[in-house]
Amino acid sequence: MADQPTDIHQDIRYEPDERPPPALLLGLGLQYAVLAVAGIVLTPVMMIRIAGGSEAYLSWAVFAALVISGVTSVIQSVRIGYVGAGYLLLMGSSGAFIAVCVSALEQGGPGLMASLIVIASLFQFVLATKLSWFRRIFTPTVAGTVLMLIPVTIGPIVLGKLTDVPEGVSPAAAPVTAGVTLVVTIALSLANSSTWRLWAPVIGIGAGSATGGLGFGIYDTARILEADWVGLPGVAWPGLDLSFGPAFWALLPAFVLVTLIGALDTIGDSIAIQRASWRRPRAIDFRSIQGALTADGLGNLLSGFAGTVPNTTYATSISVAEITRVAARSVGTCVGITFVVLAFLPKCVAAVVAIPSQVVAAYFIVLMAILFVMGMRILFQDGLDYRKGVIVGLAFWIGSAFQLDWIFPEYFQGPWSKLLGNGMTVGGFTVIFLTLFVDLTGPRRQRLKTALSVDAYPKIDAFLSEFAAHQGWNEEMTDRLRAVGEETLLTFIQQKERGTAHDGRRLLLTAHGDGAAADLEFIAAADETNIEDRMALLSERAADTPVEQELPLRLLRHYASSVRHQQFHDTEVVTVRVESAVS
């Protein structure tokens, strides 16, 4: 059987292509914006205040962060050409850059920081364009592990806000305010009514804010009263430092590393939002992931030119989509426009930032719990065998241990503390290293290059027969391999005959043994049709669909234990696992 799930999630209220009613669209847009705007605003505030920057530069950086986050959120949702995911995937300021940006501000000022961000963003464009080259590195296993580590990484920061109350306030303020937020949000999220679940985030935050403000006076109304209704910050654009001195070259590796870690986060978020957006599960669209990475890189590039902190995809949008069951991309467009409008409304921004930190922290507990489960779901849907289980388990606990200073913290001080003190960084690189180790130390792949045509069948058949003989497999396993090769080739040729493929396409077939199983990889130029999705729809064949068009897919599903079809802009890769078990 192919590993494409066939269950239908009827509780998805609005898929990406569907449009909610105007009132619901506006309400959800404001809801998402309320949840995300605090992170967008507070990240540059923390960065600049730690580095001792001026208030004028701070105001400019916050304004630029809101505008860029809004523009890139719209691009992620609508997908302009190859740029954007085409899903409800919000963008916002990246807290992962705070440490390296502070170092750049202290050593060379905003100009140096801006130059480093611009140069580092170019690496993300390369990764997005050539993602097919790195398909064995940035896998669903890596993405699921990184998603599970996000709560571990930001948990200490978020939970630390639970006790962050002004002096002179009742000791009960923090636990009561957080408790009300958490209880109301969880109760409504678990309700049978989809309507209550839809508004759970807003009602939970509203209840917590009202409790903190009316009961304990910890809602910062002074900030709101002092802010203007409409306004623009003074222009404090720092420009670019193009001197490329020693400080630039010393900090560039750190900026590139953090950028790639952010890209890994974006890949995980892109996979997760695809899983959460459709009633009928679909194969992962890696072209959408490439678009998300390109939009993320564009956001970093614009942030560098503007002199503000880089941005990244926000996993909160995935969690809220899971709660509300609304994944319409029009909601993302609405949120992006809201961010841009808020940039010109200082009083509205102040009203959001004034929400008690206990309320924000309590609600993030719910979001992070959902995100953790999303990571687990991706791992299980991808197929979690023994080796993958060991890799994920080690990566998760090693990342958690370094994040929580459980492993000899006295030996990792100074520069190492910045690198190894981030659980997502350590865990992400651990899962990548172990995945590459398994791949490189496994059996050597045998390769065959040929034209993608019917004439190639004898070559493929002979290649697979020789491969099976080299592995010492019996006649039954050899026949299964030959059948898989034939049916996969016929499936490719059918796509070509329908006019969806390119003439003159070449096919690269690789094969390697894995104990009593074989992994075959068919690589060709890009096509529009996904084999996994077609196999999932076999039971719902239209009456006018010729049976001969389905026969190769049915036989492929019969002989293969799993089929994965990865589609990139320039390449498509069909990976088929064949086991010797009796059919």
Convert the pLDDT of each residue in 483-504 to its tens digit.
888 888 888 777 655 544 445 6
Average pLDDT over residues 240-256: 81
What confidence category does residue 336 fall into, taking pLDDT thresholds of 50, 70 and 90? Answer: very high
pLDDT of 106: 82
List all residues 6 or more positions away from 425 whose beta carbon is below 8 Å from its beta carbon.
Answer: 257, 261, 399, 419
CB 106 within 8 A of CB 49: no
What confidence category does residue 7 fall into, taking pLDDT thresholds of 50, 70 and 90? Answer: very low
pTM of the entire structure? 0.71
Mean pLDDT lowest for which of 111-125, 154-168, 239-253? 154-168
For the cut 80, the answer to whether the pLDDT of residue 414 exceeds it is no
Length of the chain: 583
pLDDT of 6: 43
Query: What is the separation, in whole angstroms, between the first and last Cα of the chain?
Result: 10
Name the percent of the chain lying above pLDDT 70: 86
Average pLDDT over residues 526-554: 58
Query: What's the burial of 174, exposed, middle or buried (CB within 10 Å: 0-12/13-18/19+)?
Result: buried
Q: Which residue has the higher pLDDT, 349 or 238?
A: 238
Name the percent of the chain lying above pLDDT 90: 16
For the cut 90, the answer to whether the pLDDT of residue 268 exceeds it is no
What confidence category does residue 101 fall into, taking pLDDT thresholds of 50, 70 and 90? Answer: confident
Sequence letter at residue 209: S
Mean pLDDT lowest for which of 15-24, 108-117, 488-497, 505-514? 488-497
pLDDT digits (tens, 9 = 90+) for 35-85: 778 778 877 877 787 777 787 888 888 899 999 999 999 999 999 989 999
Most confident among 221-225, 272-276, 381-385 (mean pLDDT): 272-276
Q: Which residue has the higher pLDDT, 490 or 161?
A: 490
CB 96 within 8 A of CB 154: no
Q: Which residue has the higher pLDDT, 392 or 149?
A: 392
Q: Which residue has the higher pLDDT, 209 or 423?
A: 209
Torsions phi, psi for 170 (to 5 deg)? -55, 140
Q: Does domain 443-579 have CATH number 3.90.79.10?
A: no
For the cut 50, the answer to whether the pLDDT of residue 5 exceeds it is no
For the cut 50, the answer to whether the pLDDT of residue 8 exceeds it is no
DSSP 3: S
Q: How many Cβ atoms from other residues are within 10 Å of residue 282's Cβ?
A: 16
In terms of Cα–Cα distance, which of 422, 316, 246 is closest to 91? 316
Mean pLDDT of the chain: 80
List all residues 6 or more positions away from 336 whose beta carbon is below 8 Å from its beta carbon.
Answer: 69, 70, 71, 72, 73, 74, 75, 76, 77, 90, 91
What confidence category does residue 4 fall into, taking pLDDT thresholds of 50, 70 and 90? Answer: very low
In angstroms, rounded to a whole number, what is the distance separating the alpha carbons of residues 104 and 480? 58
In angstroms, rounded to a whole number, what is the distance separating the alpha carbons of residues 163 and 176? 11
Task: Give how far Cα 260 sits from Cα of 35, 89, 257, 395, Å.
Answer: 25, 18, 5, 17
In terms of Cα–Cα distance, which of 535, 12, 537, 87 is closest to 323? 12
What confidence category does residue 413 fall into, taking pLDDT thresholds of 50, 70 and 90? Answer: low
pLDDT of 1: 39
Q: Which residue has the higher pLDDT, 303 or 568?
A: 303
Average pLDDT over residues 325-345: 91
What confidence category does residue 119 fall into, taking pLDDT thresholds of 50, 70 and 90? Answer: very high
The tally of CA atoms less than 13 A away on the side-chain side of residue 90 is: 37
For the cut 50, the answer to whether the pLDDT of residue 3 exceeds it is no
pLDDT of 116: 93
Handedness of CA 474, 475, 480, 486 (dihedral sign): positive
Q: What residues does CATH 3.30.565.10 cover in the chain?
A: 443-579
Torsions phi, psi for 562 (to 5 deg)? -160, 150
DSSP-based helix, strand, coil % in the chain, nearest 5:
65, 10, 25
Exposure pattern of 193-232 as b/e (b: 16+ CB <10 Å)? eeeebbbbbbbbbbbbbebbbeebebbbeeebeebeeeee
For the cut 60, the answer to whether the pLDDT of residue 418 exceeds it is no
Query: What's the burial of 21, exposed, middle or buried (CB within 10 Å: 0-12/13-18/19+)?
Result: exposed
What confidence category does residue 534 fall into, taking pLDDT thresholds of 50, 70 and 90? Answer: low
Q: Which residue has the higher pLDDT, 30 or 46?
A: 30
Average pLDDT over residues 252-277: 81
Mean pLDDT lowest for which of 332-346, 359-373, 410-424, 430-444? 410-424
Average pLDDT over residues 109-121: 93
